[in-house]
Structure 1
Amino acid sequence: MTDAFYLPDPDDERRYHSTELTRGPWSPDAQHAGPPSALLGHVLERCEPKPGFQIGRVAVEILGPVPLAPLTATARLVRPGRSVELLEATLESERGPVMRANAWRFKLAEPELDVPAEFLPTGSRPGPEQAPDPEVFPSTQPVGFHTGIEYRFAAGSFMKPGPAVCWIRLRYPIVAGTTPSPLERTLAAADSGNGVSSVLDWDRYLFINTDLTVTLHRHPAGEWVCLDAVTLPQRHGIGLAETALFDEKGPLGRGTQTLYLGRR
């Protein structure tokens, strides 16, 4: 097994080789959406970077199963600006585009704004050191995204239906030879909101997200990202997963996922 989710191609800087660590729970041949979302974040942050700017929102559209195969990741600046910029990134396999993302990049205030303390986001969740050792993830695959991350439940569990509070950190870099950025860590973790807060039987039902939107009012400090997640299902087969994002210092932002609910 390799020690990264993706290996950069030595002959093509846009091309990345997917490893077994990207494998998801739905098919042995398809990736969990967390690693490719983080890979999109990886190329977005490297697209015409500007000092004093930071990505504040990423909206990922999942166009189909992402194969365990070489991927081409590209990003471009769609709308330049003095204060706010729009970026776009695409992930392609040999079959064509499999994921797309738009990101808003904001100029950070300098000096900082005089926001009254009582209006600043506050709150906390029990830290990862207070959570018990992880349970066994419900997967028949010996290697996959579930083995590429460390997770600790402060409330709920994979096998207990309903809301959950789960801490996640990467065991390996997203791209070999690099250190995961705060944005990469957040995108990789946030896609698990529907998994940690699942309400349907894993053996009988599918609850696959078609998208992932992450809005961050600040980026996480440290390796751990906390998901305080709830899944809101409807019997007609459309659901929503909502996730409040935290680190050990407090709130970071929100993640949402639109869900396709169906029988296996």
Structure 2
Amino acid sequence: MDAFYLPDSAAPDLFHPTELTRGPWSPDAQHGGAPSALLGYVIDRCEPRPRSRVARVTVEFLGPVPIAPLRAEARVIPAEARVAQPGRNVELIEAALSSDRGPVLKATAWRLRPVEPDLDIPTEMLPTGTRPGQATVPPSPDHDFPSTQPVGFHTGVEYRFVSGAFQTPGPAVCWIRLRYPIVAGTPISPLQRTLAAADFGNGVSSVLPWGRYFFINTDLTVTLHREPVGEWICLDATTYPDRSGIGLADSHLFDQQGPIGRGTQTLLLGTR
């Protein structure tokens, strides 16, 4: 296996997941980061426009994503259908993944065209933030991804914790890098890389014991004010649980040059 998905030579919209997509909640279901990044792949290729880039993606998880072939589709919503945001500089993209049982994920993405020349914004008003260091804490068993599966999304990703750990309750700072392409034979785009990493927010900052509770995200929203550069994405993540069984994971996102945006996840909490 050298990728998370294999394209189908006979059907360009069909993708076959490998074992590297497997998640922690069921041996038969994918980790949310893998299909989210696959949606990023099809969004990247949906009627691309020079210089335009995706500024926000919201992924809705409609149910468990089986480790089975997925059909992908994406389209640009016609400008005349977007009363609130018409114009050539703004596009809304819809994308979806379906198995033989029906839709499993859907997403919307705003693609914006940056202005030329750059706006004259004073430096002190630009986004700032201390980029987390890449010096990691000494490895320990707490850093191991809590999965009983020998192969899964956790083995296709490299982690470097600056603080916290998968099995240490509370906020965490973690750098994440994909070891393999999302789709075999294609380079990993900045959008794919960020979506895959951002879905780990609830995992790295879990506040409830993995063995007793589940904390499954029903969605993932990533907003990027700057396009990421480099292979590594950093999450400075915090989980906010409530006794009602609803929670929130909030991740400040960084690359090696500084802040790039934000990721949020609505969480369903419960006992196993």
TM-score grouping bracket, smaller chain normalisation: over 0.9
Distance 2:128 2:122 in 1: 12
Match of 2:226 in 1: 218
CA deviation digits over 1:232-254, x for unaligned, max 9? 00001000000000011100000
Q: Secondary structure of 2:77's match?
A: strand
Indicate conservation of the 8 Å contact 1:91/1:100, yes or no. Answer: yes
Distance 1:125 1:156 in 2: 16
Distance 1:145 1:162 in 2: 22
Q: Which moved more, 1:121-130 or 1:191-200?
A: 121-130
Q: 1:169 to 1:28 in 2, by over 3 A?
A: same
Q: Does 1:127 align with 2:133?
A: yes
Letter in 2 for 1:127: G
| TM-score (norm: length of structure 2) | 0.95
Q: Does 1:256 align with 2:255?
A: no
Q: Secondary structure of 1:13's match?
A: coil
Q: Does 1:241 align with 2:240?
A: no
Q: Does 1:88 align with 2:87?
A: no
CA deviation digits over 1:105-156, x for unaligned, max 9? 0011111110110011112333334454473221100000100000111011
Indicate conservation of the 8 Å contact 2:135/2:162, yes or no. Answer: no
1:98 is aligned, of 82, 99, 104, to 104
Question: % of aligned pairs identical?
Answer: 69
Indicate conservation of the 8 Å contact 1:53/1:108, yes or no. Answer: yes
Distance 2:138 2:229 in 1: 22
Q: Does 1:8 align with 2:7?
A: yes
Distance 1:133 1:263 in 2: 29
Q: Secondary structure of 1:223's match?
A: coil
Structure 1: give runs of 5+ residues left out of the alignment: none
Match of 1:183 in 2: 191
More strand by percentage: 1
Pairwise CA distance, 1:52:
1.6
| TM-score (norm: length of structure 1) | 0.97
Q: Secondary structure of 1:185's match?
A: helix
Q: How does 1:20-169 map to 2 (within 5 A)?
A: 20-80=19-79, 81-133=87-139, 135-169=143-177
Distance 1:132 1:124 in 2: 22
Q: Secondary structure of 1:175's match?
A: coil
Letter in 2 for 1:143: V
Indicate conservation of the 8 Å contact 2:136/2:163, yes or no. Answer: no
Structure 2: give runs of 5+ residues left out of the alignment: 80-86
Runs ≥4 residues deviating over 6 A: none
Q: Secondary structure of 2:13's match?
A: strand
Indicate conservation of the 8 Å contact 1:124/1:248, yes or no. Answer: no
Q: Secondary structure of 2:12's match?
A: strand
Distance 1:11 1:128 in 2: 43
How many residue pairs get matched? 263
Distance 2:137 2:228 in 1: 19
